[in-house]
Chain A
Amino acid sequence: MSLVRAERRRFFKRRLTRWVFPIGLLLLVTIASILFAFHSKPTAEARAKGETAAEAMYQEQVRYYEQYKRECGEKCPEDGWTGPQRSDFRAEDFMPPSFDFKTMYGELFLVWAAIMAMVAFLLGASFVGAEWASGSMMNLLTWQPKRMKVLGTKLGVMLLSVAALSILALGVWTGILWAAGEFRGTTAGLTPGVWESFGLTALRGLGMILAFAALGFGLASVGRHTGLALGAALAVVIVGQVGLTILFQMVRVPFWEQYLVPVHIFAWMNKEVKLVDFSSPETVCDNVGNCNPPELLITWQQSGSIALALVAVVLVLAFWQMRRRDIS
C-alpha cells in the first residue's frame, strides 16, 4: 500500500498532470459553454416567428410548385409527387436552435472521450517515461526491487487516477450540458432507459480513455522514454492514417476506412459504423430489386477487440522488458 500511496502522490504532484488535465478540462468547458451560448430556450414569441416563417416558406414552395405544374401541363412526369406538404415545414427549423439534452448529450460523449483520451495518453506516457529518462526508476528499484510489482503498481495507480480525472471531467461536462438543456433547451424525455444508455456510453468512453492511457504507458515503458510513445502516436497519425488513406484510395482498397483509428473510435462510441464502398463496380440487390453499393458494418465489439488486443500486446511487451532488461 505504501508504494501505491507514493505513486498516487507522485502522479498528482507532477507538473504535467497539473497542466495537461486543466487544459483538457478547459477545452471541454469551452466547447460546452459555446454550445450553451449558441442555443436558446424556445419562447412563445420565437415560436410565433418560427410558425410565421414556416408558413411563409410553405406558401412560397406551393407557389413554385403550382407554377411548375402550369408550365409543364400534361407533360408533367407522373412521379406521384403532389406538391409540398405543410407538415414538412416545422416552426423549429426557423427558430434559434435549442439544446435538446436527450438527443445531444448522447452524441457529445465522443467529444469528452476523445479529449480525455488525448490527455490520458500524454499522462500515461509521461508518468513512466519521465521516470525512466530521469533515472528515478533506477532509484526507486533500489527501494523496491520487485520490478513487476513496481511497474504493475505504477500502471494501476495511473489508470485509477486517470479514471478519477475523467469522471471529474465528465461531471463538469455533464453539468454544463445539463444547464444548457435546462436554460437553453429541454431536458424532457429522460427515461430510465435513456439514462441507462448514457451510462453504457459513458462506460465505453471511459474504457477508451483508459485504453489510450495504458497504450501511452506501455509504449513509453518499452522505449524507456516519453518520446517513444509520442513518436509512435505521431507516426500512427501521419504514416498510419494520412499515408494509408492516400495509398488505399490510390490502389482502391475496398472499405479502406476500416483501417483508420477514428472509424473504430466512432464505432466503439456509437455502437456501430456502416461503411459504404462507393468505388466498387459491384452492387448488392435486395428482394425487391433495390441495388446499392456493398456495405461493411463495424460493431463496437469488433473495434473493442482490436483495441484490447493492441493494448495487451504493448503491455505484455512492457512487462516482459521490465523483467528481462538490465537497468542502466
Chain B
Amino acid sequence: MAAVLEIQGLRKTYRARGGPRRALDGFEMYVEAGQVHGFLGPNGSGKTTTLRTLLGLIKPDSGEMRILGQELPRHLPQVVSQVGAIVESPQFFAHFTARDTLALLADAGSLPSERVDWALELVGLRERAKERVKTYSLGMKQRLAVASALLKQPKLLILDEPANGLDPGGIREMRDMMATLSAGGMTVVLSSHILGEIQLICDSVTIISLGRRVAAGPVAEVLQAHSSGQVKVALETPADLSAAAQVLIASGFQPQLNTDHLTLSGVDKPALIARLLAERQLYVSELTPVTADLEDVFLELTGTAPVPGQVRSVDQSVRPELTPQNGGAA
C-alpha cells in the first residue's frame, strides 16, 4: 500500500538555556493510505515537533519528509490543500462566531462557503454556529478545531489530541467519525494520550521517545512483539499453589507466586503446564495468556511507568539506540 506520510532521519535541535536540546534525533515514521495511525509518546518526546515540522511551522536540521509523495517542505504549498491539521489546541478569536472562524479559513483556502456548514454539521456544532467562540466549552472548541481541519476534506488528517476536553459521548463520536473518515479513504494520524482509544481506533501506531522511534507497525503486531509470553495459572485449590510452584520449578519453569495464581514467563505450550500439574493431582482451573495492552507496551517502551515513591521528570524516558530499524545507519 502507498505511503501517505514518510519521515526518514528527521532531526531537530532546539537552542535552550541549559544547552542544546534534541527534540528529534533521527526519527522515522510511515503511514499507509487509508489507515488510522496512532502517534504516541510521552510529554516532550517530540510528537508536536514532528507534526509542526511536517506542516512547515518548524524547520528541521536534517531528514526527509514526504506527504502524498511530495517532498517537504519544498512542495508543501502544492500539497497543503490535501492536509488538514490541528496541532495541540488551536486558539480562535474569542469574539468571532464558529461560522465566521471557519468562513475566514474557507476564504483563505479558496473553498466554497457550503463547506463550512458541512464541517459544522459533521462535528455537531451547526446549532451553535452563530454563537461566539468565547461562550464555548473546551470540548466545543475542540470540535471546532476538528471542523477547521476537516474543512479542506483532506486526504491526510493530522489531529493532535483531538479528544482533549471531550466528554465520553464526544470521545465516542470522535472515534466513530475517525472510522467513517477512514472508511471513506481518508488517512488519519492521531496523536493522543488516551491509549485505550488509540488501541480501539487505530490500525497502526508509531511510538516515539526522546525524539526516536521505539516501535511502529500494526497495533496487533506491536502488542504481540512486546507481550512477554506470560500465562496465568490458577488451581481449583488455591492452597496447592506452593506445591504447584515446586512442580513447575522442577520442570525448569520460573513461576511467580501470587495470592491466588501463578504467573509463568516464556511458555510456548500452555498445555504442557496443565499436563505436568495434573500428573501430580493438581488441577488447573484457569490457564490464560497474559496479554499486554497498548498502555503496558507504551509504558515499557518509553520507560515512563510510575514507580512508587519516585517522581519522574518530563524528560526522563527511554532513548533507544539508533538502529537501521528506527533510523540509524545500517
Contact = CB atoms under 8 A, between A and B. Distances in A.
A2 B108 contact: yes
Contacts of A14: 93
Q: Would you list the 7 A-B pairs with minimal beta carbon distance, nearest first? A: A6-B107, A135-B91, A2-B110, A327-B57, A6-B108, A145-B56, A326-B58
B57 A139 contact: no
A141 B80 CA distance: 10
Interface string B155-199: 000000000000000000000000000000000000000000000
A6 B104 contact: yes
B107 A136 contact: no
A10 B104 CA distance: 7
Interface centre among B91, B104, B108 (most CB of A within 10 A): B108
Contacts of A143: 80, 105, 108-109, 152
A108 B83 CA distance: 54
Contacts of B73: 145
B52 interface: yes
Interface residues of B, number: 29
Contact of A5 (B52, B59, B96, B107): B107
A284 B107 CA distance: 65
29 contacts: A3-B107, A3-B108, A5-B107, A9-B103, A9-B104, A14-B93, A130-B93, A134-B93, A136-B90, A136-B92, A136-B93, A138-B57, A138-B90, A139-B90, A139-B91, A139-B92, A140-B108, A141-B56, A142-B80, A142-B85, A142-B87, A143-B105, A143-B108, A144-B108, A326-B57, A327-B52, A327-B57, A328-B52, A328-B58
Contacts of B109: 2, 143-144
Interface in B52-84: 52, 55-59, 73, 76-77, 80, 83
B90 A135 contact: yes
Contacts, number: 74
B95 interface: yes
Interface of B is mostly: loop
Contacts of B152: 143
Contacts of B57: 138, 141-142, 326-328
B76 A145 contact: yes
A13 interface: yes
B107 A134 contact: no
A224 B4 CA distance: 34
Interface residues of A, number: 26
B100 interface: yes
A146 interface: yes
A75 interface: no
A136 B77 contact: no
Contact of B55 (A6, A10, A135, A142): A142
A139 B59 CA distance: 17
A257 to B, nearest CB: 43
Contacts of A135: 90-91
Interface string A3-46: 10111011001110000000000000000000000000000000
A145 B109 CA distance: 11
Nearest to A130: B93
Contacts of A10: 104
B148 interface: yes
Given A326-B59, A327-B58, A328-B57, 14 more contacts: A6-B104, A6-B107, A7-B108, A9-B103, A13-B100, A14-B93, A136-B93, A138-B90, A139-B91, A141-B56, A142-B80, A144-B80, A144-B109, A145-B80
Interface centre among A7, A144, A145, A327 (most CB of B within 10 A): A145
Nearest to B158: A142
B67 to A, nearest CB: 12
Contacts of B87: 138, 142
Interface string A316-328: 0000000000111
Contacts of A140: 105, 108
A40 B90 CA distance: 59
Nearest to A327: B57
